[in-house]
Structure 1
Amino acid sequence: MNERNFEAFNLSDEISRALGVLKYKTPTEVQSVVIPRAMESQDLVVTSQTGSGKTAAFGLPICEKIQWEEKLPQALILTPTRELAVQVRDDMTNFGRFKRIKAVALYGKEPFAKQKEELTQKTHVVVGTPGRVLDHLERDTLVLDDIKYLILDEADEMLNMGFITKVEKIIKKLPSDRVTMVFSATMPNKVETLCQKYMNNPMNIEIDTTGNTTSATEHRVIELEEAGKIAILKSLTVVENPDSCIIFCKTKEHVETVFNELEQANYSCEKLHGGLEQDDRFAVMDGFKMGNFRYLIATDVAARGIDIDNVTLIINYDVPLEKESYVHRTGRTGRAGNKGKAITFATPYEEKFLRAIERYIGFEIPRMEIPKHHEVAKAKAAFDEKISGRRVVRNNKTARINQDIMKLHFSGGKKKKIRAVDFVGTIAKIPGVTAEDIGIITIQDNLSYVDILNGKGSVVLQAMENTTIKGKKLKVSEAIK
């Protein structure tokens, strides 16, 4: 099956409206194959390239089937990294925006108490890393008794990072009659074993396997010595002159070295590795997605959660030591029908790792020569013009869907015995406003937040300045997003 548009899936008006705002027009192959089967509540094992559109493949059916009225989470999505958890949370929120679906991300290095408070609100979808999800389960701050959908996203990477024991502990706490879907760029034996153990007669779907990635991505290797890497990197970026480039390094020390060299050469660049504070990592990720800088120098932590369709060049400054990492790294380019290029630097010491990668992906990666001086000189003017030119800010999906939404802050919550139904009943009485204009409502002890949809935020804000809720006068203001 290869549906030509999303209308063929008979999605609800709310989900279809969100897709329109997000500018989702033509389903990718994985979406065309997976969505109809997921809508039929079929267990699925999907082997699909990074960047193939799999989040929408499982996210749209889940958002379609979620019952808004239910208080406990109905879907659990496990991811290997915090970055991917946040990205998937944002995607699920965007898909379900007009259905008022609430998605929560649970991950480490964020205050546990903050997440605990968030889980006291009505939550439809929980997205998280195995360690933090298990922490919440063991402390009874997360109840998964009503889970109907379990998604293991990037399953190979999750198990490769040593999460298998935690994943199994979580699975054993879930209802047995759930639907389970496993998505993975590769399918090692340990993933297959997990599927056989915990899934109900799953359908296996294989899309965009490693052997045919060359149709979208041009793969090349430059053989060199370690001492010459920085100079060759600079020459290569001048000749290639990419609009958007990720440079992968195997250690944070290499990231720091490359970043310092490129920054001193006035490259528009940032760095990303596990040694940075979590907030800084998220800020760098967001900046790269928005096109605020062209070069991201990163460890493999960045191979998860970067949802960008137009990364034009991947440079493996170091050969990845694990063959699966090559697939995940290079999956950052050649996405959504765009062409991409992946160039790997290989020293004599790294040749054995390179050969293992070539056996794994099923083809020998062509070698290319180090850029010659005259090639660099010829390309330098165009490179300098792009470096000094104005960067084009990319269209952000979340910003698009939020443009007609205003979040209002109210100075009262649970301690004043105010409930979500009180906000809905009061706001829906404002002339020109209906319940359909009210989005996600979050009620805390002493304050509350209400999303107002469809560009009616100003109308509601003005009206609520002189209106009581449950007989109580609350201060209202536009919340700082």
Structure 2
Amino acid sequence: MSFQDLGLSDAVVHGVQRMGYVDPSPIQLQAIPVILSGKDLIASAQTGTGKTAAFGLPILSKLDSPQEFPRCLILEPTRELAMQVETAFRDFSRFMHLEIALLFGGVGYGKQKDTLLKGCDVVAATPGRLLDHIEQRTINLSKLEILVLDEVDRMLDMGFLPDVRRIVEKCPKERQTLLFSATVPEEIGRLASWCLRDPEKIEIGARRSPAETVTHALYPVAASQKFDLLIALLKRTEFESVLIFCRTKEGADRIARKLKTENHSVAVLHSNRTQQERIDALEGFKDGRYEVMVATDIAARGIDIAGVSHVINYDVPQHPEDYVHRIGRTGRAQSIGDAFTIMTAEELPHVKDIERFIDQKITRQKLEDFDYVFSAIFNEDSVAAALKGAKGVRTHKGMRFGASRKRR
């Protein structure tokens, strides 16, 4: 089925064709007819499935002529995602005469107020800045027809759901509401029950296949040597830019500080950074001022960084989908990329889950001339047996492997 067959307006189809889109993705095939019908929708879909076009194309088809007040509001958790949506809507509507506004924090209000005063049809916004405009009465939502809550699981992680509820309360009750989230835990389910009316439900499975242009390597090491191995990898690798993933914000800050002492130029990206710090980190990484970016999964989702030559998982992701998402930051557009994962004994179960998920065995590697200390991880069978037979046996630093320590 083509985009034309889905019932989109001629202007939108023309825009899609100009952008080089050929066949609709699975979520587009399912979501576009639902949205065109005017029904509410809750869709579970990962980033990278064509989600923005899935809601953008039918929305633009419904907004066929410009009006004075916003008729569509799209809420995004971060500035970067809001910018991506605004750019996509401009591209999709290039043969229309609609005005798109972009509202996010960390910058002045002047240009945003001017845009709103002139009139706009679509607003892409982050929750905090939108609430500011609502309180200052610089935006009028009384004519709103369509509300899109995007990346809601991420908004939950970042603590934005109270703000989202406040915004929904300011919207007309007679509206179409579309909710998109990679996962739908109980709290998001309650939000959906509150703000959606008899929604259609769509679930698109997570992408399981990493790009074929990415080379994977797994580096087993004792927990005490993780950082030393990271430094050795960086010294022996010819890289243009490296994105390092840590599991926690505290871990990301700690690794960034230690990398700076090794004379690496480092940017940090996580949800505790201010808006201006995030802007500086992203722009500095893109223009080459920072050769390394240390990030968490939540902060890095949805950002668009071209030309990342290497991804290093300092911590093995606990969810297999996150592994695919992390390494998807390299090897884009047929470029060659490398994905290194540093693994300790405790992380072996997560690695096994990842390998089952991607249906691929990741090659184990050892660095030549690196002064390894003994670790049970070099015998994965014994580690697996220890994990299976030592349930609940933990030390304050994690699971105890290998020979038992002598009491003194």
Name the TM-score, length of structure 2 as normaliser: 0.72
Correspondence 1:179-328 to 2 at 5 A: 179-209=176-206, 213-214=208-209, 222-226=219-223, 228-229=225-226, 232-233=229-230, 246-249=243-246, 250=249, 251-255=252-256, 257-258=258-259, 263=264, 272=269, 274=273, 277=277, 279-281=279-281, 283-284=283-284, 287=287, 296-300=293-297, 302-307=299-304, 314-319=311-316
Q: Deviations over 1:327-377 (max 9, x none)?
A: 7545646889999886543445xx37x857987998599665233439xxx
Task: For residue 207 of structure 1, report the CA deviation from its aligned partner.
Answer: 0.7
Task: For residue 109 of structure 1, report the CA deviation from its aligned partner.
Answer: 0.9
Check the 8 A contact 2:320/2:357 in 1, yes or no: no
Find the residue that maps to 2:68 and give its secondary structure: coil
Name 1:373's counterpart in structure 2: 368
| Aligned mates of 1:192, 1:346 — CA distance in 2 | 35
Correspondence 1:464-475 to 2 at 5 A: none
Check the 8 A contact 1:259/1:297 in 2, yes or no: no
Task: For residue 154 of structure 1, report the CA deviation from its aligned partner.
Answer: 0.8
Tell me which amino acid in the other structure corresponds to 1:182: L
Q: Deviations over 1:398-457 (max 9, x none)?
A: xxxxxxxxxxxxxxxxxxxxxxxxxxxxxxxxxxxxxxxxxxxxxxxxxxxxxxxxxxxx
- More moved, 161-170 vs 235-244: 235-244
Correspondence 1:45-444 to 2 at 5 A: 45-209=42-206, 213-214=208-209, 222-226=219-223, 228-229=225-226, 232-233=229-230, 246-249=243-246, 250=249, 251-255=252-256, 257-258=258-259, 263=264, 272=269, 274=273, 277=277, 279-281=279-281, 283-284=283-284, 287=287, 296-300=293-297, 302-307=299-304, 314-319=311-316, 329=326, 332=329, 343-347=340-344, 351=346, 368-373=363-368
Judged with a 3 Å threshold, the aligned counterparts in structure 2 of structure 1 residues 129 and 118 are, in CA distance, closer, same or farther, namely same
Find the residue that maps to 1:162 and give its secondary structure: coil
Match of 1:16 among 13, 21, 32: 13
Task: For residue 101 of structure 1, report the CA deviation from its aligned partner.
Answer: 2.1
Task: For residue 166 of structure 1, report the CA deviation from its aligned partner.
Answer: 0.9
Judged with a 3 Å threshold, the aligned counterparts in structure 2 of structure 1 residues 313 and 10 are, in CA distance, closer, same or farther, namely farther
Judged with a 3 Å threshold, the aligned counterparts in structure 2 of structure 1 residues 114 and 358 are, in CA distance, closer, same or farther, namely farther
Check the 8 A contact 1:272/1:284 in 2, yes or no: no
| Aligned mates of 1:17, 1:367 — CA distance in 2 | 43
Find the residue that maps to 2:170 and give its secondary structure: coil
Task: For residue 6 of structure 1, report the CA deviation from its aligned partner.
Answer: 2.2
Task: Provide the aligned C-alpha RMSD in A.
Answer: 4.0
| Aligned mates of 2:301, 2:7 — CA distance in 1 | 31
Task: For residue 118 of structure 1, report the CA deviation from its aligned partner.
Answer: 2.1
Check the 8 A contact 1:85/1:305 in 2, yes or no: no
Check the 8 A contact 2:45/2:180 in 1, yes or no: yes
Judged with a 3 Å threshold, the aligned counterparts in structure 2 of structure 1 residues 368 and 238 are, in CA distance, closer, same or farther, namely farther
Find the residue that maps to 2:138 and give its secondary structure: coil
Q: Deviations over 1:113-144 (max 9, x none)?
A: 33222211211111111111112112211111
Find the residue that maps to 1:208 and give its secondary structure: coil
Check the 8 A contact 1:326/1:357 in 2, yes or no: no
Tell me which amino acid in the other structure corresponds to 1:57: A
Tell me which amino acid in the other structure corresponds to 2:13: S
Check the 8 A contact 2:316/2:350 in 1, yes or no: no
The aligned length equals: 360
Tell me which amino acid in the other structure corresponds to 1:143: N
Q: Deviations over 1:215-274 (max 9, x none)?
A: 76898754424554455446667999889863223424424544775858xxxx976563
Check the 8 A contact 2:244/2:313 in 1, yes or no: yes
Tell me which amino acid in the other structure corresponds to 1:298: A
Judged with a 3 Å threshold, the aligned counterparts in structure 2 of structure 1 residues 342 and 41 are, in CA distance, closer, same or farther, namely farther
- More moved, 187-196 vs 360-369: 360-369
| Aligned mates of 1:361, 1:81 — CA distance in 2 | 31
For structure 2, the residue ranges without an aligned partner over 5 or more in a row are 370-408
Check the 8 A contact 1:28/1:336 in 2, yes or no: no
Work out the percentage of aligned pairs sharing the same amino acid.
Answer: 37
Tell me which amino acid in the other structure corresponds to 1:19: V
Judged with a 3 Å threshold, the aligned counterparts in structure 2 of structure 1 residues 245 and 149 are, in CA distance, closer, same or farther, namely farther
Find the residue that maps to 2:67 and give its secondary structure: coil
Tell me which amino acid in the other structure corresponds to 1:122: G
Judged with a 3 Å threshold, the aligned counterparts in structure 2 of structure 1 residues 37 and 189 are, in CA distance, closer, same or farther, namely same
| Aligned mates of 1:55, 1:335 — CA distance in 2 | 19
Check the 8 A contact 2:269/2:296 in 1, yes or no: yes
Task: For residue 56 of structure 1, report the CA deviation from its aligned partner.
Answer: 0.7
Task: For residue 71 of structure 1, report the CA deviation from its aligned partner.
Answer: 0.7
| Aligned mates of 1:45, 1:330 — CA distance in 2 | 27
| Aligned mates of 2:23, 2:61 — CA distance in 1 | 18
Check the 8 A contact 1:51/1:309 in 2, yes or no: no
Judged with a 3 Å threshold, the aligned counterparts in structure 2 of structure 1 residues 257 and 87 are, in CA distance, closer, same or farther, namely farther
- More moved, 171-180 vs 307-316: 307-316
Judged with a 3 Å threshold, the aligned counterparts in structure 2 of structure 1 residues 17 and 244 are, in CA distance, closer, same or farther, namely farther
Tell me which amino acid in the other structure corresponds to 2:181: S
Task: For residue 25 of structure 1, report the CA deviation from its aligned partner.
Answer: 1.8
Task: For residue 283 of structure 1, report the CA deviation from its aligned partner.
Answer: 2.6
For structure 1, the residue ranges without an aligned partner over 5 or more in a row are 375-481
